[in-house]
Structure 1
Amino acid sequence: MSVARRIALAVAVFLVVVLVAGVITTVIFVRRPLPSHSGTQQVDGLSAEVEIIRDRLGIPQIYADDAEDLFMAQGYVHAQDRFFEMDYRRHVTAGRLSELVGPVDAALAADTVTRTLGWRQVAEQEFDLLDPASRSYLTAYADGVNAYLESRQPSQLGLEYTVLGMSVDVGTIEPWDPVDSLAWLKAMSWDLLSNYGDELGRAAVFGQVGDLDMVDALYPAYDSSRNLPILPTAAEVTAQEEAAAAEETQAQGMDLTGGDSDRAEAGSGVASDPYPTALAADAGEAVRTALDAIPALLGTGEGLGSNSWVVSGEHTVSGRPLLANDPHLGLGAPGIWYQVGLHCRTVSEQCPFDVAGFSFSGLPGVVIGQNADLAWGLTNLTSDASDFFLERVYSDGTYLRAGDRLPLTERTEVIEVNGGDDVTITVQSTPHGPIISDAILGSRAAGDAPLPDGAPPTGLSGYAIALSWTALTPGRTADALFAMNRAVDADDVAAAAALFDSPSQSFVFATADGQIGYQAAGAMPIRADVPGAVVPSDGRWPRLGWDPAYDWQGLVAPEQMPSVVDPAEGFIVTANQAVTSPGNTPDLATDVDRGYRAQRIRDLITEQIAAGEPFTAADMTRIQLDEVNPYAQMLVPVLQRIRVPNDFVAEAVDLFDDWDRVNDADSPAAAYFAAVWTNLLRLTFWDQVPEAQRPSGGSVSLDVIRNLLEDEASPWWDDRATLTVVEQRDEILGLALVDARAQLTVSQGKDPADWRWGRSHQIAPTHALLGGDGVPGVVSNYFNPDPFAIGGGSSSVNATSWDASAWAGGYPDLSVTSGPSMRMVVDLADRDASTWQNFLGSSGHPTSGNYDDQFDRWASGEPYPWAFTRAAVEESEDRTLTLAPPG
């Protein structure tokens, strides 16, 4: 039984109880968890009074005389507003979700994988590595959480506990531990680990088509001549400008006559020495499915990423920098971020914090924001921080290593199941990491996998898959977060980044005295070039565990990570694209975003600079909301030249004639193009790739299709289901136009002028446990805000992504899967002129007025003023809570 179905049954019981109890009891049930945000509360452990000033959005600004008091108060307010979210997260990260929700298959699968990876054990080791001050802050935060939990029943902490209590024994809530906060960093790292799906995908597709050339076509190299990296050279900037001018006419000159070029010979790229993966025997697909069982706490899919850029004072109205950031993450309920201010009344060595911004419930400090001296934003570095290793294993508990048989390391994990029997698993490891195929598949993973010449014989047991991942080595990311909260200049940012192990991130920053800069951060493995390897040994493919030549050769030194301060251009743009052009040292990643968002931001900035118009905060917000569709810019000129079978289809294609290529929510052409795009990917790839590798339609797909358009006879165009016909490019493009017309006719009406992109493209925030199918509407309405029709799309700057591989009932599902989880613009000349907005709201309680009160303005893109100084905070005050020591 799924989590959603089990909860749905619990909700049904809950409704019966509520209906019988009557309206008054109902109000008590649903409003009981709401905290008090005013008055005075006595809290053991404080050394002095702490003020918590909230505005009408419920955003707390905390003022204290002591750093430990400050973080204790942050723990208290996080617990007030978001404790169930915190508790759910710690159960997931510790592999204890079954303890919370009961005997649910999905929960047990998640626990099995998380225990196998050992997140909690790594977090426990990290605590001892941290600076003493960081340990004291984490401990104070935990004390604050526990001060709020003290003497409160589960039903007073979250309505979710009342619902869960109808199907399982909720019991008492265990105290918060500092390690609970550190384990959350593992979940962050996992959700932002961008490469492992591509690594499995290459091997799985090769197992299906047996052609390395065809695999390479699905994973093209980053093209810095089209979209510049984060740190471009002057020569690259010039070359890109020339390439952009040339590309303007490329589509117009494309041959769409359905010419007579010979079809490329299928299999021409088959390796003479087949690549050694157990994935051809479906083991890799099973591993992928199992790893995906871990609940995505930040979101999942290619749409995860961020925009962040900074413009120097040379180009602003104020003469001081402007910095923007909008992380693209999952958009569930409650929203991921929690806005907060942490202010020492007197900043000193003993109390060094005066910072505000966006935090994660369960983690002390501010993750993204500004302090009195500096502002910073984060984007995912999309680095390759993990590898799968194929291990030769034997039934006697040994594995092969450099010709020797060595014993596997083993440990036993007991998973407690609320209302069910305990489940015991055995986790085995090699020096490369935990063997994920054992616990996940229940058997060895080799089967009839193709292997290279000289590979060890299968014998008994066969092969298994181990995972090497930098986040499984204890690190000091928590130290880095506190260091960033105190940072003053570029040297401080570099020092903090040197401690930032995982997830790997791109820091963009600006200082109050006018500096701007970029710093790459994260533990990055060094891979040796293996002579004679069948496929590249650079981390794009699974590696051979029995050959030490494939082992990591250490980590990139922090001082070698790319960085820049005050570049000549006067601005820096990061949007998950390559940091430097491919082939540069250090080579951080191959599977990066292809840079269309980043290039669009660059183009808007350079156009405004060329026009001599200085930037304001409003200009930064305008760029964040840009909805130009790069897919349409590439493909529409081609589609307009395709011959269609009748006037019925031509009527839809005519929408493209005067379309500005902007994905406005009210655009009929945007709706039609999205349907055409999803059908084009379906018709081109679904017949030849495993289901899990169907393209999601992100920026990689854009480059793939762009390249395939130049090869009308590529084997990818052929539909393998039509055995006597060899389809080519123009036929597939025409079929996509026809199918999209038919689908939108059914879903939105016969007249194309009546179609609307926002009718297909909606954001519907759902609760992790109470957002599934089958939850009765009266309860679902509490936890899940009403959907919004919005614009934007994948690879637009306003990146409201959708999954082109998701179909239901024969129709593409174009609903939003991820997007800007928050937006902020910091004005370094006037901190109170900065703006911010959260996806939903500050509270995690669905009956709170602050649960989703920012949703409307998030959807419309209208930010809120950000009160940073004490004077501005007092002016925006709506209610104040004082925490005081007893007596």
Structure 2
Amino acid sequence: MSRRAVRLTVVSVAIVLVVALVAAIVAAVVVIRRPLPQTSGSLKLPGLTAPVLVTRDARGIPTITAKTSADLFRAQGYVAAQDRFFEMDYRRHVTAGRLSELVGENEDALEADKVIRTFGWRRVAQQEWSLIEPETKAALQAYADGVNAYLDGKAPSQIAVEYTVLGLQLDVDAPEKWDPVDSLAWLKAMAWDLRGNYDDELSRARTFASVRDVKKVDALFPTYPEDTNAPILSRADVVEDTTTVASQHPLDLHDADLQKALDAADAALTAVPHLVGQGEGVGSNSWVVGGDHTASGKPILANDPHLSISAPGIWQQIGLRCAQVGTACPYDVSGFSFAGMPGVVIGHNAQLAWGLTNLGADVTDFFLERVNGTVVERDGGTEPMTIRTETIKVNGAEPVEIEVRSTRHGPIISDVIDADAVGDAPLADGSVGRSYAVSLGWTALAPGHTADALLSIDTARDADDIAKVGRLLEVPSQNIVFATTDGHIGYQAPGRIPVRARIPGAVPSDGTWPRPGWDSAYDWQGYVDPTDMPHALDPASGVIVAANQQVTPRGTGPFLTKDWDYGFRSQRILDLLGAAVEDDGTLGVADMATIQLDQHNPYADVLVPTLLSLNIENDFDDDGQDLLRTWDRTNAKDSAAAAYFAAVWADVLRLAFDDDLPDAESPDGGSRWLEVVRELLSKPESPWWDDRSTPGVVEGRDEVLTRAMVNARRQLTAKLGRDPQDWAWGRLHVAAPEHAVLGGDSLPALVRRLVNPQPLQVGGGSSIVDATAWDASSDSYGVTAGPSMRMVVDLGDLDSSTWVNLTGSSGHPASKHYTDQFAAWAHGTTYPWPFSPAAVQADASDHLTFTP
């Protein structure tokens, strides 16, 4: 064979390979684009009473206009399913404890199912269905009907590409119909991730096991510094405290078996997927400024909830409009919704705008139970537990049965993951029973009216309406800030808040530590009267900032919690607003957006002066310290000093505390730890500074801080290069949203690239107004939580408002709207937010008509 013949043969083979590759690519494109929705023309939607118009803007954000409420929510359900059904389906599998049915045999999924079945989220949601208002039921049912109309007759591959990927290794049936209870169950997941201080309560008990001193533990949970960081409301806006607050109880936390049970409880709770967010950085900024301080003479409201980052992002932007607003159809509202829920969760209507931030009230308690067989000790006697069996189906494997036990306080969670992870417990008669167990008391495990609240706020017009919403919004407890187009601003704290009795003893029992379940004196004594919850209307300052800080000054209002965010974000916002008001009193939308992006680092204010006072002898090692001398103390994306300071901060926490604390309690670097270190800086010889891993040497503050600076210089040399001028905070601090199911490293790279947005460098950080949090206890500086959206509402001209979402409006990876807002979010830019019918129509790119 000639050389030419060989060459031709090779070329022929190459052509065949190219053709095969092109065919595979074309097939892949067809597969991933198949679920993309129809957004123009007309579609039949059974059950409508009249045509419904859906317009979409350039970013795919829908505005739905209908003649009746039922038609409006039916269309919303259809549109939500068009854009994000897999996200909805994933959520309902999680909240029902059925994740193993969706993803197959997976240890993490099975553990999550076991814990959520133990909680009984869906069981509570089913009870709520019979409790909520008829109007709410009708909305939920219409929404479900719209979802099911979309699903009708579609194969899984037509609904979402995720089903196609899962179908490569599992049997994937057509999704079951959407049930209104699926929506209610989602509210339990939202409440769980925003539940308040359970982490701190457990952390205190586990820390005590190491340090053996309540006062030393208290030093790691300092009192809120209201002398420097103002609460939300002033003393002039609230009344004196009339609530009986618990004091102390005689719980023996030295008991190793008790600690073993607490560790087992923590393992169970850690298994729950975080659908909204959890841990350091989960919070929010919100504020409202009265018209005396704005250019328009009307209030301006800003909100950016800090939640976990995911792909797609948590929120779905939408407008819901009745063609003629009235009793039969009262909705004219725009904002951010959850896929799977009718209505708008945060946004504005034609008369009122509102923002939400996590209040952080203490709505959970761990009760230690003495268990013997099927009974628990109670006031010297015993009482039976409630026991039920749950069967968990596993796609492709045998079902798994679990036994769920509950006491009067709540479900027992300490043996869900490991039935043997419990210790012997002495009973009242001196005998040894089966074990200690831990039950969870949580307000969300009783049915409530949160679904009523979320629809009521969409039609709220004034402070009285918001007060009604506050009485209904039982879980999660949220700060509501609001403003009206007629010039009022206000604040309302809602929530079902337990009242705890005052009992003397050795360990605080105000909800900050676990409680002895065998003594009824420590049971909840009821709930705070909703009318006693803090609220304010038109305060004299003309400014309200609610950013997870303490709500009222100590000694005023009902007892809510001791475990607040420590207020560094909120105080910075107050300071910036105060300076702007004093400057010219003409704040506008752009000014508010600028404040949302503020990257001033309060950690630097606390620590840098001391760091610069120390001497580092080696010229190489002091290069990082030199960066701090000219640093403006902002965590800009391109800042070398911010990168160095973050490394120093993480190492200070490691050197000072890791030797004293259990592994699971390594400092995450959030606002609590900033306050701890702030207080310790004035105590250079405190035992906390000493590194117990260096026998024979007693370190003080200066030794620890110097060593941290040297370590940081060397660490960043390895990570970012020898020349500090090449360092940049954004190279370390990366926002990388991941898909909930297809984001893992075990999947092919092609799939991961399809569903996970390209990571982007960002500025900001923990306890910074631009709150892109990171975990100092990990080996990563990557973003763990951040502004899940940003919005600014101008009550003087609603069409001048702005908004941006984390990723995009679509949940389909093949859609251009899957990530088309991510770069804007990362760069701190926002989009116009039209509201009036004329502005929405002018902004519309697509028009779809649903017909009966």
- Which TM-score bucket, shorter chain as reference? over 0.9
Report 1:268-287 matches (<5 A).
274-275=252-253, 281-287=259-265
Distance 2:687 2:215 in 1: 10
| Pick aligned residue for 1:157 from 156, 159, 162 | 159
The amino acid of 2:471's aligned partner reads A
| C-alpha displacement of 1:562 | 0.1
| Pick aligned residue for 1:804 from 772, 776, 784 | 776
| C-alpha displacement of 1:648 | 1.1
| Pick aligned residue for 1:839 from 806, 813, 837 | 806
Aligned to 2:228: 226
Aligned to 2:383: 406
SS in 1 for 2:64: strand
**Preserved CA contact (<8 Å) 2:104 2:170:** yes
Report 1:101-120 matches (<5 A).
101-120=103-122
| C-alpha displacement of 1:234 | 6.2
| C-alpha displacement of 1:443 | 3.2
Distance 2:277 2:395 in 1: 26
For the pair 1:499 / 2:501, whether they are aligned, the reply is no
| C-alpha displacement of 1:617 | 0.4
**Preserved CA contact (<8 Å) 2:237 2:536:** no
Aligned to 1:437: 414
The amino acid of 1:374's aligned partner reads L
Distance 2:309 2:255 in 1: 35
Distance 1:311 1:279, change over 3 A: farther
Distance 1:335 1:272, change over 3 A: closer
Aligned to 1:864: 831
SS in 2 for 1:352: coil
For the pair 1:676 / 2:648, whether they are aligned, the reply is yes
The amino acid of 1:47's aligned partner reads T
For the pair 1:792 / 2:748, whether they are aligned, the reply is no
User: Which runs of 5 or more residues in structure 2 are unaligned?
Assistant: 1-19, 239-248
| C-alpha displacement of 1:194 | 2.5
Distance 1:428 1:323 in 2: 46
SS in 2 for 1:411: strand
Q: Could you give the per-residue CA deviations for residues 384-440 of structure 1, whole angstroms, max 9, x where no partner exists?
A: 001000001102x11111111111111110000001111111111110000111323
Aligned to 1:752: 724
Aligned to 1:480: 453
Distance 1:373 1:436, change over 3 A: same
SS in 1 for 2:30: helix
Moved more, 628-637 or 714-723: 714-723
Distance 1:455 1:736, change over 3 A: farther
Q: Could you give the per-residue CA deviations for residues 717-776 of structure 1, whole angstroms, max 9, x where no partner exists?
A: 121222222222111111111110100011111111221010111101111111111322
| C-alpha displacement of 1:21 | 5.8
**Preserved CA contact (<8 Å) 1:214 1:716:** no
Distance 2:591 2:270 in 1: 39
| C-alpha displacement of 1:117 | 0.4
- TM-score, length-normalised on structure 2? 0.95
Distance 2:747 2:392 in 1: 27
Distance 1:235 1:145 in 2: 45
Aligned to 2:791: 824
| C-alpha displacement of 1:462 | 2.2
Q: Could you give the per-residue CA deviations for residues 580-621 of structure 1, whole angstroms, max 9, x where no partner exists?
A: 123333011111100000000000011111123310000000
| Pick aligned residue for 1:304 from 263, 278, 282 | 282
Aligned to 1:4: none
Distance 1:277 1:379, change over 3 A: farther
Distance 1:235 1:93, change over 3 A: closer
| C-alpha displacement of 1:455 | 7.0
**Preserved CA contact (<8 Å) 1:840 1:854:** yes
The amino acid of 1:343's aligned partner reads R
Aligned to 2:10: none
Distance 1:172 1:197, change over 3 A: same
> Number of residue pairs matched?
824
SS in 1 for 2:232: coil
Distance 2:826 2:428 in 1: 55
Moved more, 772-781 or 857-866: 772-781
| Pick aligned residue for 2:399 from 399, 403, 422 | 422
Distance 1:276 1:550, change over 3 A: farther
Distance 1:445 1:549 in 2: 25
Q: Could you give the per-residue CA deviations for residues 859-881 of structure 1, whole angstroms, max 9, x where no partner exists?
A: 11111000111100110010011
| Pick aligned residue for 1:665 from 637, 661, 669 | 637
Aligned to 1:810: none
SS in 2 for 1:716: helix
Aligned to 1:8: none
| C-alpha displacement of 1:24 | 2.4
The amino acid of 2:752's aligned partner reads S
**Preserved CA contact (<8 Å) 1:298 1:330:** yes
Aligned to 1:336: 314
Distance 1:566 1:160 in 2: 49
SS in 2 for 1:697: coil
Aligned to 1:513: 486
| C-alpha displacement of 1:233 | 2.9
The amino acid of 1:475's aligned partner reads G
Distance 1:127 1:596 in 2: 41
SS in 1 for 2:621: helix
Aligned to 1:243: none
Distance 1:795 1:513 in 2: 34
Distance 2:204 2:230 in 1: 25
SS in 1 for 2:231: coil
| Pick aligned residue for 2:819 from 824, 846, 852 | 852
Aligned to 1:172: 174
**Preserved CA contact (<8 Å) 1:207 1:279:** no
Distance 1:720 1:518, change over 3 A: same
Aligned to 1:465: 438
Distance 1:820 1:168 in 2: 36
**Preserved CA contact (<8 Å) 2:375 2:385:** yes
Q: Could you give the per-residue CA deviations for residues 291-325 of structure 1, whole angstroms, max 9, x where no partner exists?
A: 11111111221210000000000100100000000
| C-alpha displacement of 1:276 | 6.4
| C-alpha displacement of 1:554 | 0.3
SS in 2 for 1:654: helix
| C-alpha displacement of 1:285 | 2.5
Distance 1:880 1:276, change over 3 A: farther
| Pick aligned residue for 2:97 from 71, 95, 98 | 95
Report 1:682-721 matches (<5 A).
682-721=654-693
- TM-score, length-normalised on structure 1? 0.91
Aligned to 1:594: 566
For the pair 1:630 / 2:608, whether they are aligned, the reply is no
Q: Percent identity among equivalent residues?
A: 56
